[in-house]
Amino acid sequence: MTSHPLDPFAEARRNSGVLQCPFQGENIPLLLRHADVRAAAKNWQTFSSDAPFRVPIPSEESVRSVRQLPLETDPPQHTDYRRIAEPFFQRPKDPRFIARIEGITGELLRDALTRDTVEIVGDFALPLQSLALTLLLNVPRAHADRWMRWGVHVFRKQEGLEKSPGLDEYIAEQFDRARREPGDDFFSALVQARFQGRPLCEEELFGYANIAFAGGRDTVIHTVCCALAHLAAHPEALAFLREDPRRVVHAGEEFFRVFMPLTHIGRVCPEATDVRGIEVPAGGRVGLCWASANMDETVFDAPETIRLGRKPNPHLAFGFGEHLCLGAPHARLILRTLLRLCSERCESIQTVAARPRVEREATYERALGYESLTLRFVPRPTAASL
């Protein structure tokens, strides 16, 4: 039986609940079932994140030299590290912040509606993600131009791992500036922060900044592209959202579920552990396969069908447990705002050209966003003045 491009794990999930996959010479078992992934995500004692460079799969020793914070820590340190960054990542709940996200999204969409076609990955989703991040980090808009030159992913180019040139230099510049002229931005907050009564060291500062640029970049870009491609392929979906603007909340959650941009994440077992009959040695890794868990047919009825009104929707697109994604409110706001504005301003969205992106590994291939996507946005007659 041919696997679904969004769910190449279905057979293994039903049969054994685990799939072994080699990464960089290490054979890593991926947990595939919703219940197993949730349980492992909460059990940090057995499945630890206290493993610099090894939480991402594949691991990132070759492209960075600092532990990403608070991601690559366990409680109680994780709790204290997380508390430092949390205020910035809760800003998307502020009405003033919401209005500013609507402003930049509306600006990009207004431009798209005046053009014959738009290449979405580089000319819409990347600018949207970058401009939104300037608001989140409270830095000048001009910084987005520099970030966009780094590409869709700051650590991955084509099929390999490669650090985007200029990332470390930019981070160092911002911390130097924050020490000289502290302000209300993310970098200044970190320079002034205290961890367990002491200032953050240089490695810790870089650890926070590192994940701020890596963690929510390609994930947001791919989700935006997939959502717009779906609206283009299914005109009835745009009409569905237009009938009731409140539907964008459930629609956004469904897009995050189906188009889960992070296939899996790693955990390290401090002690030898049995994972559904597979012996993982002490120091070995296990993968929590979010993408498979989000397609678990024992949890989601007809999981391969996109239902924009699906509820309940207990997806794991933002993780689970202690490491629930700090950027989730920000990502949700971006997508919901885009969906609402598209329903208000677009009569239709049409696909002109598309080159899907496929994640190819030794034991699976999964459709994951687009290498390029060209769309045409057709304005609604009533939206001409918006």
Give the residues of the chain that fall short of pLDDT 50: 1, 384-385
Q: What are phi and psi of 143, to 5 degrees?
A: -65, -30
CB 135 within 8 A of CB 104: yes
Question: Are 110 and 365 in contact, with CB atoms under 8 Å apart?
Answer: no
* Residue whose pair of structure tokens reads 């994780």 in the numeric block: 78
Residue 152's pLDDT is what?
A: 85
Residue 32: what pLDDT?
Answer: 98
In a domain, 62, yes or no: yes
Other CB atoms within a 10 A radius of the CB of residue 138 amount to: 16
Relative to beta strand 285-288, strand 265-268 is antiparallel
Q: Where do runs of H (alpha helix) occur along 181-295?
A: 186-192, 202-214, 218-233, 235-243, 248-258, 290-293
Residue at 155 is within a domain: yes
Amino acid at residue number 287: G
Enter the tokens of residue 321.
């447990």
- Residue 1, pLDDT score: 39
* 111 occurs within a structural domain: yes
Q: Is residue 326 part of a domain?
A: yes
What 3-state DSSP class applies to 356?
strand
Q: How many domains does the chain contain in total?
A: 1
Instruction: Return the DSSP state at 121.
Output: I
Among residues 204, 233, 219, 202, which one has the least CA distance to residue 318?
Answer: 219
The answer to the question of residue 245 being in a domain is: yes
Q: Is 357:369 a contact under the CB 8 Å cutoff?
A: yes
pLDDT at position 197, please? Answer: 96
Closest CA to 136 of 91, 84, 83, 189: 91
| Cis amide linkage into residue 70, ω under 30° from 0 | yes
What does the block give as tokens for 252?
A: 């956004």
* Cα–Cα dist 209/85, whole Å: 10
One-letter amino acid at 291 equals A
Query: Does residue 5 belong to any structural domain of this protein?
Result: no
Residue 5 has a pLDDT of 84
CATH code, domain with 137: 1.10.630.10
In a domain, 227, yes or no: yes
Q: What is the pLDDT of residue 161?
A: 66
Q: Is residue 167 part of a domain?
A: yes
Domain that holds residue 148: 10-383
pLDDT in tens, 26-66: 999 999 999 999 999 999 999 999 999 999 999 998 889 89
